[in-house]
C-alpha cells in the first residue's frame, strides 16, 4: 500500500473520530441544557409550591386531660407576593381545614416586604384566611417583614395577634394551657419581659403546659434563660431554602444562627422551626414548603 493511500485512510479515520467527538460533545451539551431546564423548573416552580404537611405527636404529662388529642396547625412565612399566590393561599386553607385543627398558630411574615398589596387583594386575602376553622382559636405573632397592614389582615381574619402577650386557653374544663407570643426582635418589637408577664403574676400555675410562638428561632434562648416553655414554634429561616442532604442548612441568618434546622430538644421543651411557605430566594432545593401538624396528649 502506497504512502498516499495510507495518508488518505488516516485522514478519513481522523475525520470520523472528530465527527464522533463533536456529536458526543453536542449530546452532552443537550443533556446539560435539558437537566438545567429541569433543575430550574423543579427548584423554581415545583419545589416552591409542592406543600407538604409534617405530622408529629407531642406527649407531655402537663397537658390537661381535656386537651388529649388536641390538634395544632403551625404555619409560617407565607411571604405573599413572592412564590405564593392567591391560589396557593386557597390550597393552604384547604390543607389546614382538611385536618380539622383545634388551634392554628402563625409565626410571622405574612406579606413579602417587597410586594405592594393593594386593597382589593388584601380583601381577598382576608376572605381566604377567615375561612380557616379552628375550634379553640387562631393566634399569630409579628415577623420582621410584617408592616402596618398585618394587624388589620390577621384580626379581620379571626386571628388573635399576640404582641408580646399571653393567653390562657380552656377546653371543656377549668384546666388551661398557656400560649405566649413574642413579636419579632429583629424588627425591634420583641419584649420578652412583657411576653412572660404571666409568670410574674401571683397565683399562677407553675405546672401549666405552655406553648411559646415567635418568629426568630434563636429567641428561644430568651425563654430558656427566664421561664422555659414546653413547646416552642418559630419560622423566619425557611430552614435555609437550599439544604444539603444529611447536613441540612449550613448557613445561618440573623435570628436563626444557632437553630438552623427543623427540630431541637431544648432543656425540657421542644423547638420546631417551620420551613415556611413562601421563598425569599425564589429557589428551594431539598426544602419543600410545609405546614406542621401536631397532636398533643399527656400519655
Helix axes 86-97, 119-129, angle to 10 degrees: 10
pLDDT attached to residue 58: 97
Q: What is the pLDDT of residues 94-137, one digit of tens each?
A: 999 999 999 999 999 999 988 999 999 999 999 999 999 999 99
pLDDT at 218 over 70: yes
DSSP H helices in the chain? 3-41, 47-49, 86-97, 119-129, 149-156, 192-195, 197-200, 220-224
- For the chain, the structural domain boundaries read 1-49, 54-297
Measured between alpha carbons, how far is 273 from 271 in angstroms, rounded to an integer?
Answer: 7
Measured between alpha carbons, how far is 273 from 287 in angstroms, rounded to an integer?
Answer: 12
pLDDT attached to residue 45: 67
Burial class (CB in 10 A: 0-12, 13-18, 19+), 204: middle
Enumerate residues 6+ apart whose C-beta is below 8 A from 241. 279, 280, 281, 283, 284, 285, 287
Average pLDDT, the chain: 90
Residue whose cell numbers read 414548603: 289
| Helix, strand, coil % over all residues of the chain, rounded to 5 | 35, 25, 45
The grid coordinates of residue 15 equal 475525520
pLDDT band at 85 (very low <50, low <70, confident <90, very high): very high
Q: Could you tell me the sign of the dihedral formed by the alpha carbons of 91, 95, 100, 104, in that order? A: negative
pLDDT at 1 over 60: no
pLDDT at 10 over 70: no
pLDDT attached to residue 12: 65
pLDDT at 7 over 60: no
pLDDT band at 246 (very low <50, low <70, confident <90, very high): confident
The bridge status of strand 52-59 relative to strand 70-75 is unpaired
pLDDT band at 33 (very low <50, low <70, confident <90, very high): confident
Higher pLDDT, 173 or 201: 173
Q: What's the CATH fold of domain 54-297?
A: Purple Acid Phosphatase; chain A, domain 2 (3.60.21)
Amino acid at each position: 500500500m502506497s504512502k498516499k493511500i495510507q495518508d488518505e485512510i488516516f485522514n478519513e479515520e481522523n475525520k470520523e473520530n472528530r465527527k464522533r467527538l463533536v456529536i458526543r460533545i453536542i449530546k452532552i451539551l443537550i443533556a446539560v441544557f435539558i437537566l438545567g431546564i429541569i433543575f430550574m423548573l423543579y427548584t423554581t416552580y415545583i419545589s416552591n409550591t409542592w406543600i407538604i404537611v409534617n405530622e408529629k405527636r407531642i406527649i407531655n404529662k402537663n397537658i390537661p386531660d381535656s386537651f388529649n388529642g388536641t390538634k395544632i396547625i403551625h404555619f409560617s412565612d407565607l411571604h405573599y407576593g413572592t412564590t405564593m399566590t392567591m391560589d396557593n393561599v386557597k390550597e393552604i386553607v384547604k390543607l389546614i381545614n382538611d385536618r380539622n385543627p383545634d388551634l392554628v398558630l402563625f409565626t410571622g411574615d405574612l406579606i413579602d416586604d417587597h410586594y405592594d398589596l393593594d386593597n382589593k387583594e388584601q380583601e381577598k386575602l382576608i376572605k381566604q384566611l377567615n375561612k380557616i376553622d379552628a375550634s379553640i382559636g387562631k393566634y399569630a405573632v409579628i415577623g420582621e417583614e410584617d408592616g402596618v397592614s398585618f394587624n388589620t389582615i390577621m384580626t379581620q381574619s379571626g386571628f388573635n395577634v399576640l404582641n408580646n402577650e399571653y393567653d390562657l386557653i380552656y377546653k371543656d374544663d377549668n384546666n388551661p394551657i398557656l400560649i405566649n407570643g413574642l413579636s419579632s426582635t429583629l424588627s425591634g418589637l420583641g419584649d420578652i419581659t412583657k411576653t412572660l408577664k404571666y409568670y410574674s403574676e401571683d397565683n399562677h400555675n407553675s405546672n401549666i403546659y405552655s406553648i411559646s410562638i415567635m418568629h426568630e428561632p434563636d429567641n428561644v434562648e430568651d425563654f430558656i434563660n427566664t421561664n422555659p416553655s414546653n413547646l416552642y414554634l418559630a419560622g423566619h429561616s425557611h430552614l435555609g431554602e437550599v439544604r444539603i442532604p444529611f447536613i441540612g442548612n449550613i448557613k445561618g441568618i440573623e435570628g436563626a444562627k444557632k437553630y438552623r434546622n427543623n427540630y431541637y430538644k431544648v432543656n425540657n421543651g421542644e423547638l420546631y422551626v417551620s420551613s415556611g411557605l413562601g421563598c425569599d430566594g425564589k429557589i428551594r432545593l431539598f426544602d419543600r414548603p410545609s405546614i406542621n401538624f401536631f397532636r398533643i396528649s399527656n400519655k
